[in-house]
Structure 1
Amino acid sequence: MPYRSSFSGAPDRQPVFNVPGAVAVLALALVGIHALRTIVLSEDADLELLLYFAFIPARYTLPDTIFYLPGGWGPKVWSVVTYGLLHANWMHLIVNLVWLLAFGTPVARRFGSGRFILFCAVTAAAGAGAHYLSHPDALVPLIGASAAVSGTMAAAVRFAFAPGAALSGHRSVFADHQPAGSLLENFRDGRVLVFVGAWFALNLLFAFGISLPGADGAEIAWQAHVGGFVAGLLLFSLFDPVPRGRPAVRPD
């Protein structure tokens, strides 16, 4: 009986959408939540949802006698992560989805589903923390997955240029599972420096008021981007399951 082998001369048929399950589920959740808000919920119901799940710095600094928010202590705990599930409009969501698919895909393949979701939660919380430090009394809700997406960008750059990795110039069949160097070794690589420099330059433009299409004049929370990105760079090794050592090779 004839059969196909992955080691035969003819390549296996590849799936049209080669996206890890964790990324697909997260993307669908983001789309579903925004569809619920824009299609099903009334304006009052959507506002109440924002009050419970968006990150509002004033919730932590202003007493209830001055600024009351419903929910008690609960939103103080979960809103540092749940704000990343909410978006201002469809364009805001689409932009984040594009970057999530581009950078979250290799990171999810490397980390696995559980580590990836936890990593996104931690970098989202780091983004909320950075935003809080710069706007401790802000009443305007912070929403969007940009901090977690920035974290995946930072994680990807930690291994994307490693020997045999996707951007190394000599891509291995195990490109997303090549051993990563230390943070110091990464910053000795000019390609990493260019990527990180370009990323910070873009966010510097946001700091000076440059906006993106579809932002509708809303202020871009670049501090949250920086918090998520820096956390991704520094915490990558804690989540990375690939040990340092010899590059991965395909068995004969």
Structure 2
Amino acid sequence: MDSPQNSPPDVPAEPEGGPREPILTLPSALTAYIILLAVIHLRILLPPELENWTIDVFGFIPKRYDSSLLNLQIPGGTGAKVWTFVTYSLLHANLTHLGFNVLWLLPFGSALARRFGAVRFYVFLAVTAAAGALAHLVTHEHAIAPMIGASASVSGAMAAAIRFAFVRGSFLSFSRTDAETAAKVPALPLSRALRDGRVLGFLSVWFGVNIIFGIGAIGVGSEGATVAWQAHIGGFFAGLLLFSLFDPVPRARGDAADASSRDISNRI
């Protein structure tokens, strides 16, 4: 029998479900993406003519695809018709624009980057950016003003994250575990998610805010540029519908999802 002198000191028990890490501990994939956005934003230090050129070449301009304007010369040529579906999402009008997108990306993008891994995460951001550009093109086919900003990708990340955000143990549940475990809980099937009151509440608020922005033509930044809310919705729907194609975590069974939902509802 061990003597009292050799007994290990008392160690406080960890809370049930494991250690609770800060919700905004950033994974390396998201950190790298934010740093990339910040470095690219240094373009505002360029002379005005060169800065405008970068927006024309890498921003998304619907009129670039207008076949009736054969003599219209927009910098970037044919290549810009391809790469601007993604590159526009790496440009921002000002620090407020950039900061707002990063702020929304922190909780949802962190969980998604941990769940997907770096490669899937970056491809997902590119796909949702392209979906947002397509939605903007369909609704603004003759617009010559460049669209820039990561909002469509951020919207896609938010939509994807709500597929698992409210599941027991995930990052928006009342029984959240550590960040890595919270990001790997089985997601709700889409049909089940669309019957979940918390998901529907989130969708209602999100769409309501975007409709208000759209109807009111609310400007962003000192330049008075309006919010491209159709691109937000395009990215959001792409993230919601395409999530399963990227998700490496097996789906939750219907009975397990229902049990998780009931458990959390009892805690509210």
Q: Which interval holds the TM-score relative to the shorter structure? A: 0.7 to 0.9
* Alignment partners' CA distance in 1, 2:21 and 2:167: 25
TM-score w.r.t. structure 1 length?
A: 0.88
In structure 2, the CA distance between the partners of 1:16 and 1:182, relative to structure 1 (3 Å rule), is closer
Q: Is residue 78 of structure 1 aligned with residue 83 of structure 2?
A: yes
Deviations 1:30-72 (A, max 9, x none): 111111x112x11111111111100001111145544211322
Whole-Å Cα distance in 1 between the matches of residues 195 and 111 of structure 2?
22
Structure 1 runs, 4 residues or longer, greater than 6 Å off: 10-17
The separation in 1 between residues aligned to 2:149 and 2:121, in whole angstroms, is 18
- Supply the RMSD in Å over aligned alpha carbons: 2.3
- Match of 2:122? 117
Distance 2:93 2:236 in 1: 21
Write the deviation string for residues 116-172 of structure 1: whole angstroms up to 9, x where unpaired: 000000000000000000001110000000000000100111100123222232224
Pick the aligned partner of 2:110 from 99, 105, 109. Answer: 105
Per mean C-alpha deviation after superposition, the further-off stretch among 172-181 and 139-148 is 172-181
Relative distance call for 1:213 and 1:67 in structure 2 (3 A) is closer
2:198 matched residue in structure 1: 191
Within the alignment, does 1:200 sit opposite 2:200 as a pair?
no
| Partners of 1:107 and 1:152 within 8 A in 2 | yes
CA distance in 1, matches of 2:125, 2:60: 16
SS of 2:183's equivalent in the other structure is: helix
Is 1:222 aligned to residue 229 of structure 2?
yes
Q: Pick from 213, 237, 248: which aligns with 1:241? A: 248
Matches within 5 A, 1:7-18: 9=13, 18=25
Tell me the equivalent position of 1:52: 57
Amino acid corresponding to residue 162 of structure 2 in structure 1: V
Give the TM-score normalised by structure 2.
0.83
**3-state DSSP of counterpart to 1:177:** coil
For the 8 Å contact 1:92–1:215, the answer to whether it is kept is no
Percent identity between the two aligned chains: 51
2:176 is equivalent to residue 171 of structure 1: yes
- Aligned amino acid, residue 38 of structure 2: V
Return closer, same or farther for 1:29/1:160 CA change in 2, 3 Å cut-off. same
Deviations 1:85-125 (A, max 9, x none): 00111111110111111210111011111100000000000
Aligned to 1:38: 44
CA distance in 1, matches of 2:52, 2:130: 22
Q: Tell me which amino acid in the other structure corresponds to 1:191.
A: R
- Is 1:211 aligned to residue 218 of structure 2? yes
Deviation track 1:176-197 (CA, whole Å, cap 9, x = no partner) reads 1111111110011000000011
Shift of 1:16: 11
2:98 matched to which residue of 1?
93
The alpha-carbon distance between structure 1 residues 169 and 20, as it changes in their structure 2 partners (threshold 3 A), is same
* Contact 1:58–1:136 (Cα < 8 Å) also in 2: yes
Q: How many residues align?
A: 239
Sort the Cα spacing of 1:197 and 1:222 in 2 relative to 1 into closer, same or farther, 3 A: same
Q: Which runs of 5+ in 1 are unaligned?
A: 1-6, 248-252
